Structure 1
Amino acid sequence: MSDSEQASEAAAAAKRRGPAPMPGPGRFMGGAPVEKSMHFKASGKRVLALLRPERALIAAVLALAAVSVTLSVIGPKILGHATDLILAGVFGRQIPAGTSQAQVVAGLREKGETKQADLLSAMNIHPGHGIDFHAVGTVLLWVLAIYVFAGICGIVQARLANRALQRAVNRLRRDVEEKIGRLPLSYFDQQPRGEVLSRVTNDIDNIGQTLQQTLSQIVTSLLTIVGVLTMMFYISWLLALIALISVPASVFVAARVGKRAQPQFVAQWKTTGRLNAHIEEMYSGHALVKVFGRQEESAEIFKEQNEKLYASSFKAQFISGLIQPCMMFIGNINYVLVAVVGGLRVASGALSIGDVQAFIQYSRQFSQPLTQVASMSNLVQSGVASAERVFELLDAEEQAPDPVEPLRPTELRGEVAFENVAFRYQADKPLIEDLSLTAEPGHTVAIVGPTGAGKTTLVNLLMRFYEVTGGRITLDGVDVARMDREELRANIGMVLQDTWLFGGTIAENIAYGRAGATREEVVEAAKAAHVDRFVRTLPDGYDTVIDDEGTGVSAGEKQLITIARAFLAEPSILVLDEATSSVDTRTEVLIQRAMATLRSGRTAFVIAHRLSTIRDADTILVMENGAIVEQGSHSELLAAGGAYARLYAAQFSQAVAEVD
């Protein structure tokens, strides 16, 4: 159909469906994304459920993480033993050989030097012996071996985790792709194309990055907290309790800040989708934007959405960014308390210096994963916000499934019958009521009428892009609702005014009409559609590469390529929706001749505004308000002097330009 008819029918459909929420003032294309979102906890659980098929890899990741963390936690304790050996050697060298450690401690107590006595009593001193470098070296080698093995486990763990996560995201992309194939056309009528693209690309990428950057780190951090806490209680329960003071404070800060940041992340990704939708629409229609002088309006809408995205992103990042400095402040206070109390415990002889050294390391190791987990909350919230948008798409209502045992015509002849068909977008607003018509095999049925009369809707019902709300449509006596959609559509070829090409060669674009087509068949179809004549003038001929915008070929040439695609498909039924409106008069004559050959022996539905293109149709249907008001051949309808005759007179007798 023409651009104006498409726009008018889309507007009429939108009016029937009711107003859609608009993302901002002045919006003149598309609608807003769905505002409803799920709870954070439910969405988070659903994200984790994506990893369920990777249970074996996840188990291996957890096992390796446990080994790596255990070894890393043991390291400081053993390193503290090396410190004790060095200090024992330093003090042992100062004590005469033959004197026992007990005698030295008793002598210090007699002199009233109780603190020094307590300090020496906690060490394992050998009087007269200096530092045992062999023992110290052995301990250091053990520590090195432990850390190297822990690092290897960490590397393997990261590799397995990456594989599990990428597989999960791959399945999510596949599920979304399959879901899109099951969604009805009405879903895409209500969603801006850029919004859907944003969910399929940006949001899924964000989910993958969130899982990649947080899941493995969170597991390691939690195991580290457990392991470090165990060692801290093993060394000193008093210092461990002091260290635990930071936990409720950290949880409180993370919860309070995270609760404030989550709505901002949701707003951030919703605004991203709206901005992408606007950019995509303005880019694809940039010529019209310039023609109608709407650059400033488009720029204002962009500025508005960009400012909203800036505001929500800034708030989300700023609020969530407060977590890390707050956690570091709490950790530093905890570090000071541990150092002070630990020093007092060493002075009293309750702990060795090596144990305090190890404990201080543990206190750092304890606060670091807490800070990491808390600081990752912004990533987690951003990922869950994106997940909600993807899950909204996955949960969208699907089209009715195909029958388990689909029917098919015994012999495909191309007879199409509409039997008392009714259709409405909303239950209380009928569009088509009690429409009946029969297209005989090999006949051409032309459909004309004012914009919004339901001409394209009629074809959409035949293709099962929408389902009838009453009556039925049959193909060779079989109800199309009981046929497999793919099989039904495989027998129908469509040529639209709105041409669709993809990035590739001209030959590949034509060959899209039938899988496995040979180069000879492609060239034959191109000749029939008069594509060959201009392709031969291109430097690379049929191997000329064009992009999805058809850059390098004119609008008429793009139309010819799509017509050649229909020639190659050799369908039983043809749907031609203003198929020649983008070509010049001479080319139109050639296409009409080619179409006559193409329609030979096939049932054809032709939607047309230019009545000169349908004079030879076997049956012409004149539609108004969803009903057929006139039906007959060109000459019969002219003789009747009704609606068709008035349309014909407006185009030819009065030479008035067509107004959609």
Structure 2
Amino acid sequence: MSKDKGNKSVNKKTILRILKYIKRYRFLVVLSLICAAISVVLTLYAPIIMGHAVDRVVGPGKVDFTGLKGMLAKLVIVVVITAVAQWVMNVLNNMITYRVVNDVRTKAYEKLGSLPLSYVDSHTHGDIVSRIIADVDQFSDGLLMGFTQLFTGVMTIVGTLCFMLSINWIIAIVVVCITPVSLFVASFIAKRTYSMFRKQAEIKGELTSLVNEMVENQKVVTAFSMEDETCDRFQEVNGRLNVAGLQATFFSSITNPSTRFVNSLVYTGVGIIGAITAIKGFISVGQLTSFLSYANQYTKPFNEISGVVTELQNALASAARVFELIDEDPEAAEPDGAHELTDVHGEVDLKNVDFSYNKDVELIKNLNLNVKNGQRIAIVGPTGCGKSTVINLLMRFYDVDAGSISVDGYDIREVTRKSLRGNYGMVLQETWLKSGTIRDNIAYGRPDATDEEIVEAAKQSHAHSFIKRLPDGYNTYITEDGGNLSQGQKQLLCITRVMLDLPPMLILDEATSSIDTRTEIRIQRAFAKMMKGRTSFVVAHRLSTIKESDVILVMKDGHIIEQGNHETLLAKGGFYTNLYNSQFAR
């Protein structure tokens, strides 16, 4: 398939998708079209009135002032009604556009909630944000311009042609014969601008991703003195965007002057032929005046439509990127009659589990693990051995390639994700806080929690003391990155969040990595109390934090190479012993 055919296919599908969204507001579209028709008809009727007025000015001393007054009164009424119709039409067009855009953006945002984690992990976050924000905005601009100018432009062309035919069909045919040249020029250029605008939108997404990356990691960039390299990288991407933007703008900007040139030929042809016809007495001077006015109005929409077509190419390119996101395959659907996990005891069983992020690179192979109710399982091993991957599989962020994972005898692929994840409490090494008060962040999983319950959870996690020192205590407002809170304080809030609503199973992935040693000792005591009677999975690099675990799994290259409690593994003198001695040997 050629590139042009591919673009046509994408354009056709995108337009059909947009029409489906517009269909919901067809009543408003009909009203807008009625207003557009009224506006066009009255606008085209005005030259007839002016032509009649000219014919009443015969010569010095022979002016029909009574008739002129009637013509002027009629013209004023026509202008007022036209203005009102155009105003109502613009209001309706804005309502249609922004409602459609709201629907598209909402659909795209909702899709984020159903996308598999693998999609989010494999795409830059800035590009995803750019699709939902920048591309939808660009689509909005094109759609609004289409409603505002395309409908009225087409109606003006058709209406003007009808009025010209009613005055003199010969001159009207001359106009019709020259018109296709203008359409050909606009179509020729528009076809070649779509791929350019598409490329421009993609580079915008890349630039957004780069800026987002730099803002989020500014401390790291500064710490390594990489400001110059970062600027160079930005200049390179920005340079490509500049080139792509100039190409798209250059070719699209040719459309308007090209169509204006053709339209000037139309006006010239009408003027010459009309003058000859008027001299021979086939039409009056007033009719010629009307015809010249119509010729000008007839050609004007072609200039506007050419601009609209160019803008629509940009809008279609952006809309196609948004629809690509909306059309991404969601997480695997839950089976009919999926089981709701209730009254969970916490027995977890992994049987012959295989998993790899990249199917060409083997990660976890034939992993077997049986966890009894209330056991405390620690997972240790070198970086990249698969510790966090096991957590991803337990939470069903990813599905196993082979084998099975079950909770209380139920295969987790046969239960609802919501009930599965609702029975896990998870504290990760990477802290996440939302914009809002400290209270809002702690009660994120339990919005109905009372103030007493929130304070008690904060005391259990040893976060209460630092919260009370904040300007507004629990009502202190923080941004999504935690504001001026330290990394340790942010992690304490994440721990408090789980403390507030203790589920039957816990996952602690380096949960105390950002906390000082003294606070860590208190947190470990709180964790010990929290984990009592609950099945717990603890991923840790600091082996001092997992000595009390019932079972310690030592992983290497996706396999469990050793298994047992702390004393048993030390006695073996194997891989765990070497890890432990590397941290605590004198």
Task: Name 2:378's counterpart in structure 1.
Answer: 446
Corresponding letter in the other structure for 2:148: S
Amino acid at match of 1:310: N
- CA offset at residue 188 of structure 1? 0.9
By how many angstroms is 1:374 displaced? 0.4
Q: In structure 2, give the amino acid aligned to 1:271.
A: I
- The one-letter amino acid paired with 1:325 is P
| Pairing 1:301–2:272 present | no
Q: Specify the alignment match of 1:58 in structure 2.
A: 29
What's the offset of the Cα at 1:132?
2.6
Partners of 1:458 and 1:38 in 2: how far apart? 43
Bigger Cα displacement from structure 2, 138-147 vs 202-211: 138-147
Matched, 1:415 2:356: no
Q: Structure 2 vs 1, CA of residues 37 and 66 (structure 1 numbering), >3 Å: closer, same or farther?
A: closer
1:37/1:389 contact within 8 Å kept: no
1:235-274 alignment, distance < 5 Å: 235-274=167-206
Residue by residue over 1:105-163, the C-alpha shift from the partner in whole angstroms, topping out at 9 and shown as x without a partner, is xxxxxxxxxxxxxxxxxxxxxxxxx3332222112222221222122222222222221
| Alignment partner of 1:326 is 2:326 | no
Q: Residue by residue, what CA displacement relative to the aligned partner does 1:16-66 show, whole Å, maximum 9, x if unpaired? A: xxxxxxxxxxxxxxxxxxx99963333233233321211222122222212
Q: Distance in 2 between matches of 1:296 and 1:427?
A: 37
Comparing 534-543 and 275-284, the one that deviates more? 534-543
Shift of 1:637: 0.8
Counterpart position of 2:3: none
Within the candidate set 468, 473, 484, 1:536 is matched to 468
Shift of 1:428: 4.8
How far the C-alpha of 1:427 sits from its partner, in A, is 4.3
Equivalent AA in structure 2 for residue 215 of structure 1: F
CA distance in 1, matches of 2:32, 2:8: 32
Change (3 A) 1:333 1:283: same
Task: Give the one of 138, 148, 151 matched to 2:83.
Answer: 151
Distance 1:515 1:543 in 2: 15
The letter for the 2-side match of 1:456 is S
Q: In structure 1, what residue type is equivalent to 2:182?
A: S
Q: 1:45 aligns with which of 2, 16, 23?
A: 16
Give the RMSD, CA atoms, in angstroms: 1.7
Shift of 1:404: 2.6
Contact 1:417/1:473 (8 A) holds in 2? yes
TM-score scaled by length of structure 1: 0.85
Q: Contact 2:488–2:515 at 8 Å: present in 1 too?
A: yes
Q: Is the 8 A contact 2:364 2:386 kept in 1?
A: yes
For 1:48 and 1:381, locate their aligned partners in 2 and report how far apart those are by CA, in whole Å: 16
Residues 498 and 37 from structure 1, CA distance in 2 versus in 1: closer, same or farther, beyond 3 angstroms? farther
Q: Which of 516, 521, 525 pairs up with 1:584?
A: 516
Amino acid at match of 2:53: A
Q: 1:425 Cα shift? A: 3.0
Of 491, 513, 520, the match for 2:423: 491
Q: Does the 8 A contact of 2:142 with 2:308 survive in 1? A: no
Aligned equivalents of 1:131, 1:593: Cα separation in 2: 105
Question: 1-side partners of 2:16 and 2:291: how far apart?
Answer: 36
Question: Are 2:440 and 2:447, in contact at CA under 8 Å, matched by a contact in 1?
Answer: no
* One-letter amino acid of the counterpart of residue 437, structure 2: T
Question: Cα distance 1:466–1:37, how it changes in 2: closer, same or farther (>3 A)?
Answer: farther
Partners of 2:380 and 2:485 lie apart in 1 by 30
1:311 to 232, 240, 243: 243
Which stretch of structure 1 is more off in the superposition, 616-625 or 152-161? 152-161
Cα 1:79/1:54, change in 2 over 3 Å: same
User: Which deviates more, 555-564 or 143-152?
Assistant: 143-152
Q: 2:441 aligns with which of 509, 515, 525?
A: 509
Q: What residue in structure 2 maps to residue 223 of structure 1?
A: 155
In the alignment, which residue of structure 1 is the partner of 2:302? 370
**8 Å Cα contact 2:341-2:419 kept in structure 1:** no
Q: Are 1:338 and 2:298 matched, yes or no?
A: no
CA deviations on 1:540-573 (whole Å, 9 max, x unpaired) are 1111121122122111111101111111122221
Q: Which runs of 5+ in 1 are unaligned?
A: 1-34, 94-129, 655-660
Alignment of 1:153-168 (within 5 A): 153-168=85-100
Q: Distance in 2 between matches of 1:479 and 1:653?
A: 43
From 153, 160, 180, give the equivalent of 2:112: 180
Q: 1:258 to 1:36 in 2, by over 3 A?
A: closer
In 2, the alpha carbon distance for the partners of 1:558 and 1:427 equals 36
> Which of 174, 198, 222 is the matching residue for 2:130?
198
**2:525 alignment partner, one of 589, 593, 598:** 593
Taking the aligned partners of 1:141 and 1:571, their CA distance within structure 2 comes to 79
1:347 corresponds, among 261, 275, 279, to 279
The alignment-based identity, stated in percent, is 41
**In the alignment, residue 105 of structure 2 is paired with which amino acid?**
R
* TM-score, normalization by structure 2: 0.96
How many residues are matched? 581
**Alpha-carbon separation, structure 2, partners of 1:641 and 1:143:** 102
Q: Is the 8 A contact 1:37 1:392 kept in 2?
A: no
Q: Which residue does the alignment assign to 1:19?
A: none
> Compared with structure 1, are the counterparts of its residues 651 and 36 closer, same or farther at alpha carbon in structure 2 (3 Å cutoff)?
farther
Q: 1:409 to 1:258 in 2, by over 3 A?
A: closer
Residues 510 and 564, structure 1, Cα contact 8 Å, conserved in 2: yes
User: CA–CA distance in 2 between the matches of 1:501 and 1:606?
Assistant: 22
Q: Residue 531 of structure 1 contacts residue 564 of structure 1 at CA under 8 Å; is this kept in 2?
A: yes
CA distance in 2, matches of 1:410, 1:523: 28
Q: Which one has the largest radius of gyration?
A: 1
Counterparts of 2:295 and 2:79, CA distance in 1: 19
Give distance in 2, aligned partners of 1:39 and 1:543.
Answer: 50
Question: 2:489: which partner in 1?
Answer: 557
Find the aligned partners of 1:54 and 1:430 in 2 and give their Cα distance. 52
| Amino acid aligned to 2:178 | S
- Partner of 1:76 in structure 2? 47
Counterpart for residue 569 of structure 1: 501
Partner of 2:65: 133
